[in-house]
Chain A
């Protein structure tokens, strides 16, 4: 069955420290992979996506993610976290077609300590 697993429910990182959020997927076809961020009371904002090509993708707000097919992973990273990065982060997977909805992980809540 198709699924997305985010093993970490809640992570706390000190401001200025590096961040890695984990995402593993199970998908039969070649996946489209996404990371979204949801700030409190807000909708979802697309951080970055992987469709094909270079396995290290750059996104907005200084985030990047690396696709590792052998590990079925798509981990999100940021070298230096800012207090404004505190939010809920969702990994999602979809098919390489326009008509397919996304399957979301349960999300990781990021807290940033000063």
Chain B
């Protein structure tokens, strides 16, 4: 297995501001994803983080709102921009480890509250 860390673990932010969430993995990774889990809901895929190129966004999510970077194989950031209370969610990164095709492992999540 691997250790997947996310920073921050939680934050309370004012509306209109932005927050950048980091995801770091200590093993070789082939794929990285970002999910959102709204209160009491299931997980929804935001985007696939592509190394060295623009992320691939799912329907309903746009780069201007959720810019994503992945400068190397084991690190990615998700920014939640111009936040509103509707952005209050848990944001999770997940990875597919090299040699473990199909299995996704999740970070501990970042709990975001927007006031």
Q: How far is the CA of A42 from the CA of B37 in the complex (A)?
A: 12
Q: How far is the CA of A87 from the CA of B13 in the complex (A)?
A: 28
The answer to whether B33 touches A101 (Cβ under 8 A) is: yes
User: Chain B 35-56 against A: per-residue CB contact (8 Å), 1 yes, 0 no?
Assistant: 1000001111100100000000
Q: How far is the CA of A43 from the CA of B90 in the complex (A)?
A: 9
Q: How far is the CA of A45 from the CA of B109 in the complex (A)?
A: 12
List, in ascending order, chain B residues with CB within 8 A of A97's CB.
101-102
Say if the beta carbon of B67 comes within 8 Å of chain A.
Answer: no
Number of residues from A at the complex interface, CB < 8 A:
23
Mostly, the A contact residues are: loop
- Given A44-B92, A98-B96, A104–B106 Cβ distance below 8 Å? no
Say if the beta carbon of A96 comes within 8 Å of chain B.
Answer: yes
Say if the beta carbon of B73 comes within 8 Å of chain A.
Answer: no
B55 to chain A, nearest CB (A): 12
The answer to whether B105 touches A46 (Cβ under 8 A) is: yes
A106 to chain B, nearest CB (A): 5
- Residues 68 to 92 of chain B near chain A (Cβ within 8 Å): 92
Partner of A99, one of B31, B105, B106, B109: B31
Closest to B90 in A: A43
Q: How far is the CA of A43 from the CA of B42 in the complex (A)?
A: 12
Extra contacts, 19 of them, besides A42-B108, A44-B94 (Cβ < 8 A), are A36-B106, A41-B111, A42-B109, A43-B4, A43-B92, A43-B106, A43-B107, A43-B109, A44-B106, A49-B102, A90-B43, A96-B101, A97-B102, A98-B31, A99-B30, A101-B35, A101-B94, A104-B42, A106-B42
Q: What is B's interface to A at a CB cutoff of 8 Å?
A: 4, 30-31, 33, 35, 41-45, 48, 92, 94, 96, 101-109, 111
What would be 9 A-B contacts, judged by CB atoms less than 8 Å apart?
A42-B108, A43-B4, A43-B107, A44-B43, A45-B106, A94-B102, A96-B101, A101-B35, A104-B43
